[in-house]
Structure 1
Amino acid sequence: MKNTVEYNNKAILELQAAMKKTKNIRMYKRYSVVLKHFQGFQNKVIAEMEGLEEHAVGSYIKKYKVNGLEGLAMKKPSGAPRKLSPEQEQELIYVITNNTPDEVGFEANKNWTIKLICQWVMLNFKIIIKHSSMAVILHRLNLSYTRPTYVLKKADKEKQEVFKTDFETLKKHLDGLVDTILFQDESMIRDYQAIQKTWFVKGQQRKIPTYGKNAGVKLIGILDYETGHVYCEEHDKYDAVVFLEFLKKVLSQYPKGKIVIVLDNARIHHAKLIQPFLEEMKDRLELMFLPPYSPELNLIEGLWGWLKSSVVNNVFFKSVNRVKDSIQNFIRTINKVPTATIDRLCVRM
């Protein structure tokens, strides 16, 4: 047991020193992978942390245990002819970057792996390439195993620019034709919202207790563009009745002056049920709709991210009431210093 501990400690020190010394990004990653192994992380976790396949993680660890740092050294090209022609390489790049696997014949697969890529090459080019060789080819073609991100495809840039111009005009009417500008939105906060990175003891992971429940809270809120004040309500559902009552609550909070609420095109915001009320209160209340697929223009969207990262992520709540308490405590706290909310959420428009 003592020898094992000594070996692990020696390996950790050796790998840390190698990481400090190397200027090669790929070698740094290899050292980092093996270091995490000796720090106690499982291969599956290491693969996710480093953006690699689990097969590669196991390979690096095995090479190090057999031959030490030399086992991790990158082999120099042998000068052997490339297995794929330049035309085939370009086609491969195009397929990986423009199609998901199910779109090119691999049913029920949405994500490219080296195994699937090898199969695609064999089916289309009749060339067999082993896993390790394909990894080398993909790196050479400037492809990497990365985490994707979401993007809205249908946003109309022209409509967005029109909205920005209209909003600039609206701001000029503050303290004149308009007294208050509010940004409104809904959000769902779950009791198991998300795991995000946090500082903790090096080589260890924070353990978060769970309760096996999937409850959540639906929020409706407003952000005052000029004062930074935030108001949120919790509800069991979103519908036109809830939204109508929320509008009435907004008017009660701002009993004087003209209010313009900036909001998205959710169905409940256009519901027939609210139209008579809007007509009746047209001198006091106006809805200004955002262009479709433009959440980045709704300033209160930033509030939800702020809320989740501050008091919801990395926490599993025991009950819905605990979620509600955490949310309202956050709102009360930021409302004590509304200038910070203005600086964080409102200065970009």
Structure 2
Amino acid sequence: MIVFSDESGLSLLPPVRRTWAPAGQTPTLQMRMGQRPKVSVVGWCCYSLGQPARYFYRVVPGSVTDRILIRQLHQVHRSLGRPIVLIWDNLSSHRSRRMRAFAARSHWLTLTYLPPYAADLNPVEGGWAHLKNGLLANLGARTLDELLTTARRGLRHIQRHPALVTGFLAATHLDWNPQPSTS
């Protein structure tokens, strides 16, 4: 099973996007200033030839650590029930000593890293764009609970629509069906 993973942060400071309004009525976005609590989301896009794509996510308070990623990797592996080739970026928690040791003792896991500055090759980025340009765009959430409720609704939508997850992979233009070698 090929699995891509990535992390993204969410805060009460909304992603501001273009919008429409009647002429002469400039739209405003109201928000509270001051402390902005942050949460992180880890997304997992899972692909296997001949099977529907799958999507997993986990919301975590604060930042993502290698310990959190290892726990989530166990959960994703249990859910998939198959060996995983994990493809992700070069975040320090992905290359930590703890993560390398975990991968070395996990016969079901192979780690692969994307080239630096190649976020466009990770289909999970398509999920973040779908979420932040859709439900979260211009959302003036007043509380973290309101933000998380809306974010989880969007993440569950992705989870329930395998064709959407397949579309995220297609948008990367990665060759999913390589031709066999003729030599």
TM range (shorter): 0.7 to 0.9
* Pairing 1:184–2:5 present: yes
Runs (4 or more) in structure 1 with deviation over 6 Å come to none
Provide the aligned length of Structure 1 versus Structure 2: 167
Helix, strand or coil at the partner of 1:312: coil
* Correspondence for 2:84: 259
CA–CA distance in structure 2, aligned partners of residues 337 and 200 of structure 1: 31
Picking from 288, 310, 318, the partner of 2:142 is 318
> Post-superposition shift, 1:200?
2.3
- Residues 228 and 201 (structure 1), Cα distance of their counterparts in 2 relative to 1, 3 Å cut: farther
How far the C-alpha of 1:323 sits from its partner, in A, is 1.6
How many Å apart are 1:244 and its aligned residue?
1.4
Report what 2:40 is aligned to.
218
* Secondary structure in 2 matching 1:311: coil
In structure 2, the CA distance between the partners of 1:320 and 1:259, relative to structure 1 (3 Å rule), is same
Query: C-alpha separation between the residues in 2 aligned to 1:251 and 1:259?
Result: 7
Report the Cα offset of residue 218 of structure 1: 0.9
Per the normalisation by structure 2, the TM-score is 0.83
* Identity %, equivalent residues: 22
Unaligned runs of 5+ in 2: 175-183
Paired with 2:54 and 2:21, the residues of 1 have a C-alpha distance of 33
Distance 2:15 2:66 in 1: 29
1:271 aligns with 2:130: no
Question: Which of 8, 15, 27 is equivalent to 1:194?
Answer: 15
Pick the structure with more helix per residue: 1
Unaligned runs of 5+ in 1: 1-179
SS at match of 1:210: coil
- Is the Cα–Cα contact under 8 Å of residues 217 and 323 in structure 1 kept in the other structure? no
C-alpha separation in 2, matches of 1:202 and 1:232:
40
Distance 1:240 1:337, change over 3 A: closer
1:272 maps to a residue whose letter is R
**Equivalent pair of 2:45/2:165 in contact (CA under 8 Å):** no
Q: TM-score, normalised by structure 1?
A: 0.45
The answer to whether the Cα contact below 8 Å between 1:215 and 1:319 also exists between their aligned partners in 2 is: no
Q: Distance in 2 between matches of 1:188 and 1:247?
A: 19
Aligned-residue Cα RMSD (Å) equals 1.7
Give yes or no for contact 2:90–2:116 (8 Å, CA) kept in 1. Answer: yes
- RCO greater where, 1 or 2, for CA within 8 Å and sep 6 or more? 2
**Residue aligning to 2:74:** 248
- After superposition, where does 1:48-127 map in structure 2 within 5 Å? none
CA distance in 2, matches of 1:335, 1:278: 26
3-state SS of 1:275 partner: helix
How far apart are residue 240 of structure 1 and its match? 1.7
Counterpart CA distance in 2 for 1:318 and 1:229 is 32
Tell me what 1:147 maps to.
Answer: none
- 1: CA distance between counterparts of 2:99 and 2:56? 21
Query: CA offset at residue 330 of structure 1?
Result: 0.5
Change (3 A) 1:215 1:315: same
Deviations 1:46-82 (A, max 9, x none): xxxxxxxxxxxxxxxxxxxxxxxxxxxxxxxxxxxxx
1:346 to 154, 169, 176: 169
The structure with more strand, counted as a fraction of residues: 2
Q: In 1, are the aligned partners of 2:122 and 2:169 still within 8 Å (CA)?
A: no
Kept in 2, the 8 Å contact 1:195–1:313? The answer is yes
